[in-house]
Structure 1
Amino acid sequence: MSNPVSALSRATVVYVAGHHGLVGSAIVRHLRRQGFSNVVGARSAELDLRDRVATRRFFEHQSPDVVIDAAARVGGIVANSEYPVDFLGDNLRIQLNLLETAHEFGVERLLFLGSSCIYPKFALQPISESSLLTGPLEETNDAYAIAKIAGIMHVQGYRRQYGRRWISAMPTNLYGPGDNFDLRTSHVLPALLRKFHEGVLKDDDEVVVWGSGRPRREFLHVDDLAAACLFLLENYDHPTPINVGSGEDLEISELAELVAGVAGFRGRIVFDTSKPDGTPRKLLNVNRLSELGWSPSISIADGIASTYRWFVENVSKQRSSQRAFQGAGLD
């Protein structure tokens, strides 16, 4: 299933592309907790990975031994539907620049992070890695999915043409500290956290949730993904992308009830069926990863509770402080 891989030296220079985002920041935290002393990154304001010259300059300066590609333009159903050109073009440029530059500088270990949206809309559940390219994609995020599929093929090409020991991993729906809680551009779980939190603050009688509530989704805490990334770099070496998930899913209606309970919302939950549902079900088959010896450690209930606490402390309070400051004038 996989060629032998040795443990990484904790002195290895690891470049985490996208280190300030939801996934990248979790990977940085995990690597540092595991004793890695040379974890490097750059904010998008400092390094635009769509710029090949700037990307090359960064590699010249940092000389990474390992690259983890967690950099991407991401968003929810609305953002993906309205800006397909941006999602396709930006992600292709980021991937091309990172992979081509990593190859130029002789990086032997690289982990490309894709997404479960690469799989067909009506793939057999749970979705195995062999489902890739066997059917049409979900149309609301097909541009993003095509970009990620191109990244997988690029990694496989470098393995086949140049012998690079590069790998790809496909995470399920992720959540956790550092997530995007904007109601227009976020994914479903953080959007629900904010909706129910604001419902409590406003003492609303009801909170409206997009869609029918019937689609089923799988969720993985981003700290579990970070642990899986290091595990794969040290235990997996194969051209086939590998799924990373919890192996369990739940209906959006169940998720809404769970989030409402965590936020303390006691009103009615109303489902707006005029809004799109997206893919009916999206559960990953994680047998290959389980057989390697890895499994997640954070339950969905515990993960939502800790993420809600982070949101209250880092997003909700900050927004309240900003409003108070903006409303305070000088006589």
Structure 2
Amino acid sequence: MPEAIEHYRIEDEESFADFLYALNDYAPRAANLLHLLRQQPMDVAVQAELMRLFHTIKGDAGLCRLYFVEPLVHAVEDILARIKSGELLFGAALEQVVLLAVDRLELLIAELDSGRAVALRDFNQLTEALHPLGQLPPAQVDEAAWQLVKQLTGFVPQGQAGQQSVATPAQQADLDFFHSLGLQFEQRSALFQGRTERNLILAMACNRVAGMPIDSLQLEAAVYVHDVGMMFLPQELWLRQGRMSEDERVQLAAHPGWAADLLARMPGWDMAARIVREHHERPDGRGYPAGKPGGLICDGAKLLAIIDTFEAVILKHGQRQQARSLLRAVAEVNASEAQFDPKWIACFNQVVRELMQQGDALPHVR
């Protein structure tokens, strides 16, 4: 392998925009073809189409001077060549590895679209980890692939469970109302199916793993209400993929405040209001609406930020008419770890690991 590039900033805006536009088509096509190949591993037509697609991605990356992309795609091509030759059988492990590689490429290209110089260390490490899969003896490939999946999804044990608050009749009535608001938002699109229950399961389990530092009733209220403000925005803005205009960003940044103000006007829900108001803030101070640094963001908001990002990935899969993959969503959250508090990422990962080990499923996610 040639020496890896450590940092990259867009050199040619026009050619980068072309690659970004093309990748928005290539990525879902790759996912759909991998799904087809998983169902029919010996289908030579699907194998050939996948090979052509990744060859096109590599070629486009070279033309657009995104040279750091080429080694990763080359590693995927080596794996596909072994499958096409009959040396390897395409199974679940290789499917997940290639999907995660495509997801990581999409994330990196989206980060570069911000215009900042981006560190490529994690991306290069993934490329290095992929290359042995094109060379290992066939009997060792699946185990190595699953080890790479584990590395990308980062399962780390954390903490012990504490005690859960018990709602008074008045609090339960409020929670029932908040729940109804969450379900109203969920019913606005078939793509939101199951989101309220998914978010609650993950948030409560993460809080339990962390030792219950967040009041469970306040967290439950925040989960139900945090996106209710989206109902005051145009529906096309909720489901927008790709770059937004500055006016659209301003509109979107208002939605946490609307939901937080609703909670703040109801006695006893001050912490829930704060969680909702801060859940789009980031530890590096680049979040919204106030640009607070990590030390000023409450634990509940740090946790809800992770849950909300997980849900955004699930929504993206639905928009692309792909199966909603728990494993891929977790990997994408971990790839964006600079946006989140490491303590809560560790809790989130442990919860997902427990769900997978126990065979439990989140609603409408495989």
TM, length-normalised to structure 1: 0.27
Bigger share in helix: 2
Determine which structure has more spread, i.e. the larger CA radius of gyration.
Answer: 2
Q: Which has the higher contact order (CA 8 A, sep 6+)?
A: 1
TM, length-normalised to structure 2: 0.26
